[in-house]
């Protein structure tokens, strides 16, 4: 495996120069961590710090961090000392300035702009992703990635606004999804173990993972959640005389 040399630190002339005028796509777990870090509800965070785009070809919403209105379009979280939410910075900021192509690390910024390239610290891709805390994302978002990379969503556009909104709620708006789970017929329809119901009351990450399973159930795999027997029985047509 190829290695690369890189280190990002305050001593570099480019320090924080990359935290402006850039498109940072937020993953669901990013939104969860950032809203928690800032003490906001997920709805407040989405309204204040993000804008929505539409993924192609799926037609599903994607969330992008909104840069500032200042002439430099700086990230709302950048300070002269660095990122003020560093421990909960987005996935894309953890990876940058490295991208993976054909399983190999590639720099996406020119060395003249990103001076950390060529510093003495040497990394394999595995070491880098571990150091940046990206393994946790792989675990938490496994089902989300399974859904969004599914062949159905690569070939077919979801056009129903209600389905798009359900996806947005379950994947990015965890506080709205919590209300939906506990205040609608959700728990009367789906047969969830008591232990899981207790956990999702307290644990937002578990609630997010349930959201991914619900989206998987609705979009690609009806086996992803168990529907209660009585609900299925009520849906069956009556036997013919
Ligand atoms: S979130 Fe932090 S690391 Fe990412 S662009 Fe903003 S200031 Fe930079
Ligand atoms: S340009 Fe590169 S080295 Fe400079 S702050 Fe950004 S990531 Fe770090």
- d(Cα 45, Cα 41) in Å, to the nearest integer? 6
Question: Domain end: 90, 105, 138, which one?
Answer: 138
Residues 116 and 203 in one domain: no
| Contact 14 CB / ligand 2 (< 6 Å) | yes
Reference 32, options 163, 147, 144; nearest CA is 144
Cβ neighbours of 87 (radius 10 Å): 8
Q: pLDDT tier at 118 (50, 70, 90 boundaries)?
A: confident
**Three-state SS across the chain?**
CCCEEECCCCCCCCCCCCCECCCCEECHHHHHHHHHHCCCCHHHHHHHHEEEEECCCCCCEEEEECCCCCCCCECCCEECCEECCHHHCCHHHHHCCEEEECCEEEECCCCCCCCCEEEEEEECHHHHHHHCCHHHHHHHCHHHHHHHCCHHHHHCCCCCHHHHHHHHHHHHCHHHHHHHHHHCCHHHHECCCHHHHHHHHHCHHHHHHHHHHHHHHHHCCCCCCCECHHHHHHHCCCCCC
Residues 27 and 129 in one domain: yes
Percent of the chain with pLDDT over 90: 92
Residue 238 is assigned to a structural domain of this protein: no
Residue 209 is assigned to a structural domain of this protein: yes
Return the ligand 1 atom nearest residue 79 CA: 7
Residue 68 is assigned to a structural domain of this protein: yes
Residues 62 and 168 in one domain: no
- d(Cα 165, Cα 61) in Å, to the nearest integer? 8
Residues 62 and 29 in one domain: yes
Q: Judge contact between 122 and 5, C-beta under 8 A.
A: yes
* Nearest ligand to the C-alpha atom of residue 19: 1
Nearest CA to ligand 2 atom 5: 15
Residues 33 and 105 in one domain: yes
- Poorest-pLDDT segment among 44-48, 69-73, 235-239: 235-239
Residues 106 and 162 in one domain: no
Average pLDDT over residues 33-43: 98
| Contact 211 CB / ligand 2 (< 6 Å) | no
Residue 144 is assigned to a structural domain of this protein: no
Q: Is the peptide bond before 57 cis (omega within 30 degrees of 0)?
A: yes
Tell me the pLDDT tens digit for each residue of 122-170: 999 999 999 999 999 999 999 999 999 999 998 989 999 999 999 999 9
Return the ligand 1 atom nearest residue 20 CA: 5
Best residue among 93, 94, 97, 116 to mutate for probing ligand 1's pocket (most ligand atoms within 8 Å of CB) is 93
Residues 134 and 169 in one domain: no
How much is the pLDDT for 2? 87
Residues 69 and 164 in one domain: no
* Nearest ligand to the C-alpha atom of residue 116: 2
Cβ neighbours of 71 (radius 10 Å): 8
Residue 61: partners with Cβ closer than 8 Å, 6 or more residues away: 52, 53, 54, 55, 164, 167, 168, 172
Residue 240 is assigned to a structural domain of this protein: no
Write down the pTM of the prediction: 0.94
Residue 159: partners with Cβ closer than 8 Å, 6 or more residues away: 59
Q: Is the pLDDT of residue 240 over 80?
A: no
Residues 77 and 169 in one domain: no
Residue 136: partners with Cβ closer than 8 Å, 6 or more residues away: 29
Question: Domain end: 138, 169, 190, which one?
Answer: 138
Q: Judge contact between 171 and 55, C-beta under 8 A.
A: no
| Contact 15 CB / ligand 2 (< 6 Å) | yes
Residue 241 is assigned to a structural domain of this protein: no
Q: pLDDT tier at 236 (50, 70, 90 boundaries)?
A: confident
Q: Judge contact between 204 and 72, C-beta under 8 A.
A: no
Average pLDDT over residues 171-180: 98
Nearest CA to ligand 1 atom 8: 19
Number of domains in the chain: 2
Q: Is the pLDDT of residue 241 over 80?
A: no
Residues 133 and 208 in one domain: no
Average pLDDT over residues 53-63: 95
Residues 119 and 213 in one domain: no
Average pLDDT over residues 81-90: 97
Question: Domain end: 76, 105, 138, which one?
Answer: 138
Nearest CA to ligand 2 atom 6: 18
How much is the pLDDT for 235? 82
Residue 124 is assigned to a structural domain of this protein: yes
How much is the pLDDT for 132? 95
Tell me the pLDDT tens digit for each residue of 192-208: 999 999 999 999 999 99
Q: Which domain holds residue 223?
A: 154-230
How much is the pLDDT for 12? 95
Residue 149 is assigned to a structural domain of this protein: no
Nearest CA to ligand 1 atom 5: 19
Mean of all residue pLDDT scores within the chain: 95
Residues 129 and 47 in one domain: yes
How much is the pLDDT for 1? 67
């Amino acid at each position: 495996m190829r290695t690369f040399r890189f280190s990002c630190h305050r001593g570099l002339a480019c320090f924080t120069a990359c935290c402006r005028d850039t498109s940072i796509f937020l993953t669901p777990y990013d939104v969860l961590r950032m809203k928690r870090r800032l003490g906001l509800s997920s709805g407040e965070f989405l309204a204040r710090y993000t804008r929505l785009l539409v993924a192609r070809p799926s037609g599903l919403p994607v969330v992008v961090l909104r840069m500032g209105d200042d002439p430099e379009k700086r990230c709302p979280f950048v300070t002269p000392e660095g990122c003020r939410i560093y421990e909960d910075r987005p996935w894309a900021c953890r990876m940058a300035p490295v991208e993976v192509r054909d399983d190999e690390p590639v720099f996406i910024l020119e060395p003249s702009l990103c001076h950390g390239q060529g510093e003495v610290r040497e990394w394999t891709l595995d070491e880098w992703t571990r150091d940046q805390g990206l393994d946790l994302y792989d675990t938490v978002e496994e089902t989300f990635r399974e859904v969004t990379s599914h062949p159905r969503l690569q070939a077919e556009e979801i056009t129903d606004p209600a389905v798009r909104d359900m996806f947005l709620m379950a994947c990015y708006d965890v506080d709205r999804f919590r209300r939906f789970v506990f205040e609608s017929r959700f728990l009367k329809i789906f047969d969830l173990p008591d232990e899981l119901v207790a956990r999702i009351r307290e644990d937002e990450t578990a609630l997010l993972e349930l959201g991914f399973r619900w989206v998987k159930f609705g979009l690609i795999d009806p086996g992803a959640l168990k529907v209660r027997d009585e609900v299925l029985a009520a849906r069956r047509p009556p036997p013919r005389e």
